[in-house]
Amino acid sequence: MLLLGEKFPEFRVRTTHGPMSIPNDQAGRWFILFSHPADFTPVCTTEFVSLQKRLGEFRSLNCDLIGLSIDQVYSHMKWTEWIREKLSVEIRFPVIADDTGEMASALELIHRGKGTNTVRGVFIVDPKGILRAMLYYPQELGRNTEEILRIVQGLQISDKHGVAMPANWPRNELIGGNFIVPPPVDEAGAKERPKQYECYDWWFCHRRMGDQGGR
């Protein structure tokens, strides 16, 4: 099973936007690969519409969206055409036609006890092709698009500023939208932390964005 921190495996795939090489074609950009159980299904349709409506926000984060199921490319094309005609939403991200099941099998997207379709998998990959986050949802539960967007935002902030995000960030019950400072590595650092940041204790300090230390 693919694990966090590992290099995302390479695939040559057919999509609604033509052939692609993943993750090579996304080098230098974040991307989210998400699988759906089947075309022409209600929950999947709501997910595609939701993701498309937030596509601009993902792209502002240098992040692409890529869909996938084991349907044929003709089915994908007809389904996205239906969404455009009936729901007035044009799907502008590519959808992989994994009709051989090769990619779904390699990424373990077909789970025992959940039928022969792919589950709702989400793989968040950074510009170096490293898997940074992975989510699985059952077929009966649609994904939370805002949570997926939050994950990308949080990972990018963490990479840039060396901080961690609390639960429910940016609306955490204890520190609101602040960021958690990594704990000190020695006793001297522990004594200085409360002088530099807002702290519950030396091991639990937080700061605002742009606050590099000092009250």
For residue 50, give the 3-state DSSP assignment. Answer: helix
Domain assignment of residue 6, yes or no:
no
Q: Clarify whether residues 136 and 178 are in a common domain.
A: no
Q: For 168-182, what is the mean pLDDT?
A: 96
Please determine, for residue 211, whether its predicted confidence score (pLDDT) is greater than 70: no
* CA separation for the pair 184, 200 (Å, rounded): 14
Beta strand 18-22 pairing with 198-201: unpaired
Please determine, for residue 213, whether its predicted confidence score (pLDDT) is greater than 60: no
Looking at residue 185, which CATH number applies to its domain?
3.30.1020.10
**pTM of structure:** 0.92
Please determine, for residue 206, whether its predicted confidence score (pLDDT) is greater than 60: yes
Whether 19 contacts 12, CB under 8 Å: yes
Confidence of residue 142 (pLDDT cuts 50, 70, 90): very high
Q: Quick one: pLDDT at residue 115?
A: 65
Confidence of residue 7 (pLDDT cuts 50, 70, 90): very high
Q: Clarify whether residues 197 and 111 are in a common domain.
A: no
Quick: pLDDT tens for 76-88: 999 999 999 999 9
Q: Clarify whether residues 40 and 136 are in a common domain.
A: yes
Domain assignment of residue 3, yes or no:
no
User: 44 catalytic, yes or no?
Assistant: yes
Q: Clarify whether residues 60 and 117 are in a common domain.
A: yes
Q: Quick one: pLDDT at residue 185?
A: 94
Looking at residue 132, which CATH number applies to its domain?
3.40.30.10
Quick: pLDDT tens for 92-118: 999 999 999 999 999 989 877 666 688
E strand or H helix at 180: strand 179-181
Q: Which domain holds residue 195?
A: 162-215
Q: Output b/e per residue, 156-193; b: 16+ Cβ within 10 A.
A: bbeeeeebebbeebbebeebeebbbbeebeeeeeeeeb
From the list 44, 63, 199, 205, the catalytic residue is 44
How many domains does the chain contain in total? 2
> To the nearest whole number, what is the mean pLDDT of the chain?
94
Residues in the chain: 215
Confidence of residue 214 (pLDDT cuts 50, 70, 90): very low
Quick: pLDDT tens for 12-56: 999 999 999 999 999 999 999 999 999 999 999 999 999 999 999
Q: Clarify whether residues 46 and 133 are in a common domain.
A: yes
